[in-house]
Structure 1
Amino acid sequence: MRLLFSVLFLALLLVGCESDGRAGYRDLDLTQYNIPVVIQAPDSAKVVVSNLSGVMDDVTINSPADRYAVQVLASDATTNDMARLKAEELEYVRDNRYFEQIVREEPQGFIFENKIDTTSAYGFRYIIYRGDREFVFQNSFDGVFTLPEVEAMYESVKFAE
């Protein structure tokens, strides 16, 4: 009986330790970049900040070795209706001529697939509304990402909520 409990405990422990692709990630506070959230990012991630015509802040968190490239676009919100904010992002994504399908959808975000010939490229959008600003998290356009890579980035920004 003891052996059975030991085996079950070990099995549960191993399942609990299953990797979600974010091993080695740490908390990264983006407040100093005018983005009032904390996400998770690889230890080696570098942050680059720019401003687009004084209208939008563009913060990119990049770690090529870890296949991690997240871009945050921050601007004044046009509405405080989260469903509408997400619907706008869905429309932008669906308007891409290579759009194939929505892989996963949640109230604040989604993962999608684009397909060019036979090559699948995955991406995501995750929206946070805070104060009078909206923050759109997305994969940056620095590469073609697999579904597991995009899922790891998506989960790392969901940590912000």
Structure 2
Amino acid sequence: MRYLILLALPLFLCTCDSAESDNWPALNLGKYNVPVTIMAPDSAKVTSKTMAGVMHDVTIKSLADGYNIQVLASRAETNDMARLKSAELENVREHRYFSRVVREEPNGFVFENKIDTSALYGFRYIIYQGDQEFVFQNGLSGRFSEAQVEAMYAAVKQEK
């Protein structure tokens, strides 16, 4: 019986993560120059700025909910989604604390960083529209558990 419970626990944890993001209402980021709708807690605050006239940075944050998403919008160098994702994956793998890719999908991935014995998680999700690329990632200020990152990843993931 214990063996069965241990096998079912990871499945239960994964379903809880996406269930949390399913409870968040839709947030249209169009007025922030990001023509995408994501899921976000009601308490989320949105800030927007342009960096060097080249990149647009939109941050959606609700620290009480363990939610902090940054969107970087810029002109895409290519329309090849595999290359766009590969570049993001390469950037993450070059980080000195990178440990492993937890999950990889065509438009994004969840990863783990290890600092000493502490595991910290992050994600990247890429959307290509027109000539723009939108890179969604966990906010850089904060430490996120795997459950928090999975919930944020599910919140930005677009249905095909």
Normalised TM-score (structure 2) = 0.87
The 5 A counterparts of 1:27-38 are 27-38=26-37
Indicate if the aligned counterparts of 2:22 and 2:155 stay in contact, CA closer than 8 A.
no
The count of corresponding residues between Structure 1 and Structure 2 is: 145
- 1:113 and 1:120 in contact (8 A); partners too: yes
Q: 2:72 aligns to what? A: 73
Contact 1:79 1:85 in 2 (8 A): yes
Identity %: 59
Correspondence for 1:100: 99
Q: Secondary structure at the match of 1:22?
A: helix
Q: Deviation of residue 141 (structure 1)?
A: 1.1
Measure the CA separation in 1 of the matches of 2:91 and 2:154: 21
Does the alignment pair 1:135 with 2:134?
Answer: yes
Deviation (angstroms), 1:22: 2.2
Residue 159 of structure 1 deviates from its aligned partner by 3.7
Q: Would the aligned equivalents of 2:22 and 2:39 in 1 still touch at CA under 8 Å? A: no
Structure 2 unaligned spans of 5+: 1-11
Q: Answer with 132-141 or 21-30: which moved more.
A: 21-30
Deviations 1:70-119 (A, max 9, x none): 00000000000000000000000000000000000000000000000000
Instruction: Report what 1:116 is aligned to.
Output: 115
Aligned equivalent of 1:43: 42
Runs of 4+ in 1 over 6 A off after TM superposition: none
- RMSD of aligned C-alpha atoms? 1.4
> Could you list the runs of 5+ residues in structure 1 that have no partner in the other structure?
1-14
Letter in 2 for 1:58: D
In the superposition, the TM-score normalised over structure 1's length comes to 0.87
